Structure 1
């Protein structure tokens, strides 16, 4: 009976998170994505003003992995809350023509910027630090990148690892070790 009540509660929570809809460009749209002029220095300043981290997400029309993330991972109430509360998300189209101005000042279409940055897979999520010098491109400045679709646990752990700035901590717990520890904690029931 307890398992049934927990499952019903989880379904109720999941129902409160709105699923992404497809935009005119064929990309999934969520309420936590920002519509900006795609000038990364301005986007970073806006993210900092809101005390959030800048997160760039490359997607493309018809991407089955993007669909998986938007159907199975991003709607998870805990993940949706972490993204909404912590991240300033700018969506980029792997084959798009909207101009993007990189931190180094170069302005290119989304598709040409994707080539410059070496983006091959969608979704690819790039996490930026609070400060980026004018001589760096976004991937050079990124503190982490997530190329492809991952499970709820991996996604939540990466979002948390970046938000907590664990990449700056001294010691031996890089993301892989952090994620392995979190998996063990979840399996042992010491966290959800």
Structure 2
């Protein structure tokens, strides 16, 4: 028996955050009301060769869900519900991307922050993406070597300074293709800095995948 899951279900039973339906944090009926992007326009952003995203972060319900997922440890399983938005996005694209030889890499959290939250939200999304595409995970490839302030508290210029030099590589890359996964793309500072480290260490291609993007 998984005792941690047992106690979570006992003290924090699952109810949809919108309609209160039992058994879900985001039920299928409510999930179906969210506008998921059905198109993709290829765009290179600094060291990122492309960026895929399913939702508009400025939609209030979406930012609400992402914040709940990130900052409420007992809502860890919400990540599985949120990953369905990404699945829907990829399934509805007219031109399906070929990620058959890619490695899935999540943006790492600081150890103290991950310990406090109990999980890394980017790693949960990355795991679901790896299962969806049938790809291997490289969840120990990147390391957070520098303590940083929470990016959400900073403006665009401060975010770039804050995250600069925050990542290092723990493994080896030889022309590897990477799917770099995070929860949200706002200024893009975090993904761009991580992609820079991967490219400088031999990555052939780095494509970002995020749940939502701020426009």
TM-score range, shorter chain: under 0.3
- Asked which structure has the greater RCO (Cα within 8 Å, sep 6+), the reply is 2
How does the TM-score come out when normalised to structure 2?
A: 0.23
